[in-house]
A and B are shown apart, each in its own frame.
Chain A
């Protein structure tokens, strides 16, 4: 602290501390705490707030257990997000490995740019592109019909499968860059040495590349899972009434059910799920927080 003061002087230090305090307290911490506190209180009309009925309660959390539909949507959100995460990891690993270790240096900038560009494009637009592909009269049905794989057009939109396919597409780039960054720092000589000593490619990946890529795998999985579990755009566009996502239930509590306390409880459950996944991944891959936010 004394070094901060020495470097920036009293006025600037004051401004810096004030700004950081405003950000962390007013924009990050207090809203989260408020939301949590809010979730432990009953939903009451304004006249009764602060009255005898305004007590601490866990009723909002019990709702999730008693409401079978919400519980099954919650569980589906978990396994579907895990599936999205695993799929993106499997798809991206070969690409990341190729870019980081195999690709010729002069071709690399173009390839990276080809990954960066879709990454910048609005998530909603990338989702929308799949809306067109999966539509009842869309190109996917046309191609499958043309190839004779199906006899009549299928409804791809409005089901869980469409939502999961869309999510893999939308969040795939959050997996490929962390993987690439991690594998890139691996010394190519290690791979050469293993090969010279007779290791097959499977063993090279299992014993050298994968262990080295652990931090990248952790970061990619954390980001992808968090984005998938917290996604609203993809299920809203590609899903239907039968494929609702947990975030849609939360939204409905706020803007259709008008029960903010209940919505806050569900939101906190989602947050706990994501924190749990982050801690689990950090333990599993033995990485620290500093590795994650790079």
Chain B
């Protein structure tokens, strides 16, 4: 019995260590925001300040970078979500080797390093269309793999779709357009929302791909990296803290929505 207790203690200690490892670095980064030292650190502690938030607020280049990120994010939602939706709709109706091949092609960008996605996009668009790096290429390059995430989300929801609904509507004389607008799209609406959210977050935090296709445009993530390497002040920590707070909020909302959805699914199965 003591062996079992010992093992339980060991497990508990390991878990504490693991979650401490996950959160302590973020805590230290957050704490450094409030240290009035000129350099982001917690040692030595020079006194409490909120001044770095003000410095951040007054940083014009930060606001410009944020604007760029929002623009790119909107572009990625507009491009990647419809592409992923179309891909999922097509896959859902295929039952052959074609499906396997298409599926492999569609998920391949997720297994490709981000720098390569960026490089191939950069080379291709310059050579074929004479387009160089900038907002447009950033949207295109990010969408090429974010569309795969969207496709996976849509496919998961379509798997539970009852095709008899569409069948019935068609039999009753609805046109294909009507069926899509009135039945398929409304059914997919929750997935469209989560795909848009996921697409935006993925775009917002992307660094590796963006780095190669951004041209002279600077997204917020690129801006943070530049600041860390040149001209680092705790204002970067203030920015990190704000972004983390927003991310945590977003993640919690997303999880709650997902679980509510899962419960509703489970409920409708038993009913």
Query: Is B34 among interface residues, defined by CB-CB distance under 8 A?
Result: no
With A118-B22, A232-B115, A232-B207 as known contacts, state yes or no: A293 contacts B180, CB within 8 Å.
no
Is B29 in contact with A116, judged by CB distance below 8 angstroms? no
Report the Cα distance A34→B14, complex, angstroms: 49
Query: Which of A94, A139, A222 is B14 in contact with, Cβ under 8 Å?
Result: A94
Is A27 in contact with B28, judged by CB distance below 8 angstroms? no
- Which residue, B44, B204, B244, has most C-beta atoms of chain A within 10 A? B244
With A125-B29, A226-B113, A274-B111 as known contacts, state yes or no: A17 contacts B90, CB within 8 Å.
yes
Which residues of chain A are near B247, meaning CB under 8 Å?
117, 120-122
Is A132 in contact with B18, judged by CB distance below 8 angstroms? no
Is A19 in contact with B113, judged by CB distance below 8 angstroms? no
Report the Cα distance A60→B175, complex, angstroms: 56
Which residues of chain B are near A254, meaning CB under 8 Å?
119, 122, 212
Chain A residues 59 to 98 lying within 8 A of chain B, measured CB to CB, are: 91, 94-95, 98
Least CB separation from A228: chain B residue: B113
B contact residues, range: 35 or more
Which residues of chain B are near A35, meaning CB under 8 Å?
116, 119-120, 123-124
Interface string of B108-131 (1 = CB under 8 A from A): 111111111001111111011000
Of the listed stretches B48-56, B188-196, B248-256, chain A binds B248-256
Chain B residues 116 to 151 lying within 8 A of chain A, measured CB to CB, are: 116, 119-125, 127-128, 140, 143-144, 147
With A128-B29, A137-B41 as known contacts, state yes or no: A9 contacts B176, CB within 8 Å.
yes
Least CB separation from B147: chain A residue: A23
A contact residues, range: 35 or more
Interface string of A8-44 (1 = CB under 8 A from B): 1111100111011011100111111011001000000
User: What distance in Å separates the Cβ of B44 from its nearest Cβ neighbour in chain A?
Assistant: 8
Least CB separation from B93: chain A residue: A4
Interface string of B19-52 (1 = CB under 8 A from A): 1011101101100100000011111100000000
Is B111 in contact with A226, judged by CB distance below 8 angstroms? yes
Is A28 in contact with B143, judged by CB distance below 8 angstroms? no
Least CB separation from A271: chain B residue: B116
Which residues of chain B are near A182, meaning CB under 8 Å?
none
Report the Cα distance A125→B164, complex, angstroms: 47
User: What distance in Å separates the Cβ of B176 from its nearest Cβ neighbour in chain A?
Assistant: 3
Query: Which of A91, A120, A271 is B113 in contact with, Cβ under 8 Å?
Result: A271
Is B15 in contact with A98, judged by CB distance below 8 angstroms? yes
With A129-B26, A131-B228 as known contacts, state yes or no: A95 contacts B90, CB within 8 Å.
no
Which residues of chain A are near B98, meaning CB under 8 Å?
1
Query: Is B89 among interface residues, defined by CB-CB distance under 8 A?
Result: yes
Which residues of chain A are near B128, meaning CB under 8 Å?
30, 34
Least CB separation from A231: chain B residue: B208
Using a CB–CB distance below 8 Å, which chain A residues touch chain B? Answer: 1, 3-4, 7-12, 15-17, 19-20, 22-24, 27-32, 34-35, 38, 91, 94-95, 98, 102, 109, 113-126, 128-133, 135, 137-139, 141-142, 169, 172, 201, 222, 226-227, 229-233, 236-237, 247, 250-251, 254, 260, 263-264, 267, 270-271, 274, 278, 289-290, 292-293
Using a CB–CB distance below 8 Å, which chain B residues touch chain A? Answer: 7, 11, 14-15, 18-19, 21-23, 25-26, 28-29, 32, 39-44, 82-83, 86-87, 89-90, 93-95, 98, 100, 102-116, 119-125, 127-128, 140, 143-144, 147, 152, 163, 166, 175-177, 180, 201, 204-205, 207-208, 211-212, 221, 224-225, 228-229, 236-237, 240, 243-244, 247-248, 250-252, 255, 259
Q: Beyond A9-B177, A125-B224, A132-B41, list 9 extra A-B contacts (CB 8 Å).
A: A20-B87, A22-B83, A27-B147, A118-B23, A121-B247, A122-B247, A172-B22, A250-B119, A292-B111
Q: Can you give 21 A-B contacts (C-beta < 8 A)? A: A8-B93, A8-B176, A19-B82, A20-B87, A27-B144, A28-B144, A31-B123, A31-B125, A117-B248, A123-B205, A125-B240, A126-B25, A128-B228, A128-B236, A132-B237, A133-B28, A137-B43, A138-B41, A230-B116, A237-B225, A293-B110
